[in-house]
Amino acid sequence: MTLMIFWTFDAASQNVLSLSPGASGGALGAIRSTKTDVMALYGNQAGLASLVSPGFYVTAERRFNNEGLNFYSAVGGLPTQYGNFGLSIYYHGFAEFNEQLVGLTYARRLLDQLSIGTRLDYIQASIPAYGNTSAITAEFGMQTVITSGILVGFSIYNPFEINWAEGEGLPTILNIGVAYQPTDKLWISGEIEKVSDFRENVKWGLEYLYQDNFAFRVGFNTNPGLVTFGIGYSLNSGLACDISSSVHQALGLSPMAGIGYLAKNK
C-alpha cells in the first residue's frame, strides 16, 4: 500500500489535478486552450471572458477505472462590468492520499477579438501517515479570434516553477491550440501540450451537433496514446449533461460524467 501511495503522489505531482478537462472536454482529447464560457475554467482562463450570464459545471471521473484515481470538480463563473470572475474546486484521491485545489479566476476582453485571463491556485496534498504539503501557483491564458470561425488560444500553468515539497516541484505546462468552426454544427480543434520533462502531446478533437441538442464528440492524444469519445445533451435553457470516456490501450477506460448550466457566448 505504501508503494501505491507513493506512486499516486508522484503521478499527481506530475499531472496535477487541475488538468481535469471536465466531462465534455474529456471527450475532445482534453483540449484546453480553446475552451470558452464557464468551461474555460477547465482549461484556458481567458475563455471565461466570453461568459454573458452566471454558469456552473460539475464533473466526476474515475481515471483508468481505478478507485484510487477518482476526480471530482465544480466550477462556476460570474460576469460583471469589471470583468468576469470564476471559482474552481477540485478533489482527487482517497483516504490514504488526496489532493485538493481551489482556484480564483479573473478574465476580461481587452479588444473585440482578444481576451486574457489568470487564475490563482491553492493546492494541498494529504497523506495521513506523512502529513500535508501545499503550494500556491498561477495560470495565465490568452485567446484571439483570427477570423470568423477560427479561434487561437494559449495558456501556461505554473510559469514560476513553484515547489510544494523539498525536491518536488509542480510541472510547468504550456498549451497552444486552434479551434475551427466550418459550420454551425461542426467544431474541429487541435492542440500541442508541453509538460516540463515530458514529450509533447498532440491532441485532436471533433464535435458534431445533431438537431441543436445532441452533441457527438471524439478525440485522441499522442502522449500518452488515448482515444476519447462522448455525447452531450443540452436544453434551450442552458442546462447540459455529458457522458464521456478516454481509452488507454494498457490501462483501460476513464469514464466521466458532468452536468451544468452553460450560458451562450458573446
**Which CATH number is 119's domain given?**
2.40.160.60
How much is the pLDDT for 156? Answer: 94
Number of folded domains that form the chain: 1
Residue 264's pLDDT band, with cuts at 50, 70 and 90, is low
Instruction: Indicate whether 87 belongs to any domain.
Output: yes
Structure-model confidence comparison of residues 208 and 19, the more confident one: 208
DSSP assignment of 114-180, as one string? EEEEEEEEEEEEEETTTEEEEEEEEEEEEEEEEETTEEEEEEEE-TT--EEETTEEPPPEEEEEEEE
Instruction: Indicate whether 107 belongs to any domain.
Output: yes
Instruction: Indicate whether 211 belongs to any domain.
Output: yes
Instruction: Indicate whether 59 belongs to any domain.
Output: yes
Residue 81's pLDDT band, with cuts at 50, 70 and 90, is very high
| 265 DSSP assignment | B
Per-residue pLDDT at 3 exceeds 50: no
**What residues make up the domain containing 200?**
2-261
Residue 153's pLDDT band, with cuts at 50, 70 and 90, is very high
Instruction: Indicate whether 266 belongs to any domain.
Output: no
How much is the pLDDT for 167? Answer: 63
